[in-house]
Amino acid sequence: MQSSNLIDELAQNSSGHGASLGGRRNFLRKIGLATAGSAGLAALASPAKAQPLPENLDVAVLNFALNLEYLEAEYYLRGTTGKGLEAIGISVDGSGGEPGGKVFVKDKPLVKFATPAFEEYANEIAVDESKHVSFIREALAANGAEIVARPQIDLKSSFNALGKLIGLKSFDPFENEINFLIGAFIFEDVGVTAYKGASPLLTDKGILEAAAGILGVEAYHAGVVRTLLYGQGKAVRGLVGKISDVRQSLDNTSGVNSDQRLVRNGAANLVPTDGNSIVFSRTTRQVLNIVYGGVNAEKGLFFPKGLNGAIR
């Protein structure tokens, strides 16, 4: 699929919100909440500060997830179309920071895929992630709830910084298809564990069902990425393993392995789980440690100014 056709398809999907909006209204019908507010997300992001949980916790969780969906959508869209969310008609404005925070990315980030199947996979994931953004935004809007704007996102120096942590002089995820898969690996496992970790915080069954649906999609994405990277051989597996180690270190957990390499006990480890084959959970603080690139950091790496509406 050519990138121009993908842009057209995405734009058509984003413009046809009439029918789906009714479903989003039904999905949030029972919440009856006003706005999430910065305090709600701050409580989620830093439970150590013992802030009271907001009454509108469900909205706070959705807005926390929206920040992360902005990041994933921009990454995949830039790599598959060369453009971002605005180009396909999805609004990125809202509260909590500068309207539609800037995305820092290399000039001409469109990846030159050498393998048609890899390009098709990336295109499909780009569509999914962009729809996650529009779904959450419209669901919040249908209930009159606050929607956080896209925060400032760094898709350039962030990857170079990570590259140095794993022994590379620099790292450009848009240089080729394998690099793009490695960049995707950084996000996908985190997305799965973040939604799993947030599930106990949700009180509305409709929202919980929708979140479970998004978690399932993210898990499919993670499985595809891990499988493709495993097939690239020992050198790539080793490099990806170092990324896993960095994430585990940033989790700041003691004696708990919530991140796993592609190879474990000498065998393929395509589905990282605990001893009961259940996916791991990450707290919001652990998620922030990874996307900010530091334990207890308030901003940094992929989010130079922090998440919108969350602790800085």
pLDDT of residue 38: 38
The answer to whether residue 274 is domain-embedded is: yes
41 versus 66: which is more confidently predicted?
66
Question: Do residues 60 and 36 make contact, with C-beta atoms less than 8 angstroms apart?
Answer: yes
pLDDT digits (tens, 9 = 90+) for 149-171: 999 999 999 999 999 999 999 99
The answer to whether residue 308 is domain-embedded is: no
Q: Which two structure tokens, joined as six digits, stand for 22?
A: 């009714």
87 versus 255: which is more confidently predicted?
87
The string of DSSP codes covering 10-34 is HHHHHH--HHHHHHHHHHTTTT---
Structural domain boundaries enclosing 109: 3-292
pLDDT of residue 40: 41
User: Using CA atoms, how far apart are residues 222 and 245, in angstroms rounded to an integer?
Assistant: 17
Is 128 buried (19+), middle (13-18) or exposed (0-12) by CB count in 10 A?
middle
Question: Do residues 92 and 102 make contact, with C-beta atoms less than 8 angstroms apart?
Answer: no
The type of residue at 234 is K
The answer to whether residue 52 is domain-embedded is: yes
User: Using CA atoms, how far apart are residues 93 and 17, in angstroms rounded to an integer?
Assistant: 17
Q: Which regions of 179-287 does DSSP assign to beta strands (E)?
A: 263-264, 267-268
The answer to whether residue 67 is domain-embedded is: yes
Give the total residue count for the chain: 312
The type of residue at 51 is Q
Query: Nearest 5 degrees, angle CA 239-CA 241-CA 245?
Result: 120
- Tell me which residue of 69, 105, 73 sits closest to 86, measured CA to CA: 73
Q: Which regions of 176-312 does DSSP assign to beta strands (E)?
A: 263-264, 267-268
Residue 30: count other Cβ atoms within 10 Å of its Cβ. Answer: 14
CA distances from 249 to 14, 119, 226, 275, 288 (A): 38, 32, 20, 21, 13
The answer to whether residue 254 is domain-embedded is: yes
Helix (H) or strand (E) holding 8: helix 3-15
Residue 296: count other Cβ atoms within 10 Å of its Cβ. Answer: 12
Helices (H), 54-146: 57-81, 116-142
- Number of domains composing the chain: 1
> Residue 57 above 60 pLDDT?
yes
- Average pLDDT of the chain? 85
User: Using CA atoms, how far apart are residues 121 and 100, in angstroms rounded to an integer?
Assistant: 27
The answer to whether residue 300 is domain-embedded is: no
The answer to whether residue 305 is domain-embedded is: no
Identify the sign of the CA torsion 83, 79, 154, 309.
positive
- Tell me which residue of 154, 13, 146, 191 sits closest to 87, measured CA to CA: 13
pLDDT digits (tens, 9 = 90+) for 96-113: 877 789 999 999 999 999
Residue 224: count other Cβ atoms within 10 Å of its Cβ. Answer: 19
User: Using CA atoms, how far apart are residues 79 and 74, in angstroms rounded to an integer?
Assistant: 8
The answer to whether residue 269 is domain-embedded is: yes
pLDDT digits (tens, 9 = 90+) for 164-202: 999 999 999 999 999 999 999 999 999 999 999 999 999
Question: Do residues 288 and 307 make contact, with C-beta atoms less than 8 angstroms apart?
Answer: yes
Full-model pTM: 0.85
Query: Nearest 5 degrees, angle CA 252-CA 220-CA 23?
Result: 105
